[in-house]
Each structure stands twice: as C-alpha cells, then as structure tokens.
Amino acid sequence: LDDVMPSTVIVDFFEDDIFRAGLTSFSANKPYFTLQGGKLIEHNAPVPRTSGRPSELSTAVGLLGYSYFFVWAMDRLGLSNWWQFLDSNSTQAGNDNVAVSCALLQRLQRELARRHIRFLFVMEYSGWLRNQPTKRPAGVVKVLACAAKARIETVDLWPDLQAIYRRSYADYIKLWVVYEGNGRMLIGHMSGLGNALVAR
C-alpha cells in the first residue's frame, strides 16, 4: 500500500477461498490464521518449504507419489492428474475458517479506512455450480453477512449467475473453462467471458 498508494483495493473471494482459510496446507504448505481472544494469530510465516513428506500430503499422494511404477502406470492410462482429484491432499488447521475470513476482511477494512482508500469486496463462485445455482454455500452466506454488518462495499455475483442461468444454460456454462479429465467433464476457473462479467 505504501509503494502503490491505490485509490481502490478490490478483494475477490470464491467459496473455496473461505474453505482454504481453514487449511495449513493445500498441495503445499501455506500461511494460515487462528483466532485467540478475537485476535488474528498468523502461522506458517514464513511459509515452510514443502518437503513432500506424507504428513504434508494425503496418505495416497504421500505414498503412491513416490512409486515410479504407479506414476508410470497412471500416465499410460491417461490418468496423469490422478493426484489432483484426491480431496484429502490438504491439512486442516482446526480453526473457524468463516470467522478467520471475516476477521481478515475487517482487518483490511480498518487499514484501508485509515489510509482513506476505497475497499470493494467481490464474491465469486466456482464452476461446480454448473448445475442450477439454487442456494449459496453456507460459508458464503456467513461471510456476506459479516461483510454487510461491517458495511464493506460488496459485489455478489450470485444474482447475476442466476439470471444468466435462467436465460441460457449455454451462456452460463461459457463463464468457466470446461475441459475433459479422467473421462469426465471438469469445470475450471472462470473463462475470459466469466472474468469480463466480474469486471462489469
């Protein structure tokens, strides 16, 4: 902030960011926070170098990933990204990820207000909502409520996504990158069209 002196800071979450606030590692070690007496306590700073030990990874990734034969066989079967689909390749912090997300937003809000910088919070959603978006994930609802209570200026993409879905599913699905993986359709991050929607 001191170097750039921006007039506006935009922070963009998607729902997995709230979930990941409760992890000490996500494929590799990462910084994380806990709350003690309402105060944010930072951990893994600086972030420890990831050693690849099984304790930092899921059991399957930690053990099978060291097997040349297993990795070779997966490559031959066209399953070279097998490890990306093991949901357990992360380590829980045992904190309240929603409370930490709220506390971090409020801390940034205070710092920006002190510097007279506008703060804009954007709530985005990932491609797993390719089926009809019926309701926001519970963690998102709580973080949005927290932002509203703190009077943080917020742009929530949910109503826009619902409107586009109702108008045209073909247009809706184009908002994310779609690709084939392990014999099934996968939805990645937002496409150029999706990012343009966020910007508008």
pLDDT digits (tens, 9 = 90+) for 20-78: 999 998 878 899 999 999 999 999 999 988 776 666 666 666 677 778 888 888 888 87
Angle at 62 between CA 59 and CA 68, to 5 degrees: 130
CA–CA gap between residue 43 and residue 22 (Å, rounded): 12
pLDDT in the model for residue 83: 62
* 142 in Cβ contact with 123 (< 8 Å): no
Q: What is the structure's pLDDT at 17? A: 92
The DSSP secondary structure of 155-177, one letter per residue, reads EE-HHHHHHHHHH-HHHHHTTEE
Contact 119, 11 (CB under 8 A): yes
Rounded to whole angstroms, the Cα distance separating 150 from 144 reads: 10
pLDDT value of position 11: 96
If pLDDT is split at 50, 70 and 90, which confidence band does 87 have? very low
- Please report which confidence band the pLDDT of residue 181 belongs to, taking 50, 70 and 90 as the band edges: low
Type of residue found at 106: Q
Q: Report the DSSP beta bridge partners of residue 76.
A: none
Instruction: Give the pLDDT confidence score for residue 72 in this predicted structure.
Output: 85
For 88-107, the pLDDT digits (tens) are 567 888 999 999 999 999 99
146 contact partners, CB below 8 Å, separation of at least 6: 98, 101, 102, 105, 106
For the chain, what percent of residues have pLDDT higher than 90?
A: 52
Residue 130, pLDDT score: 61
Q: Vertex 175, ends 171 and 179: CA angle to 5°?
A: 105
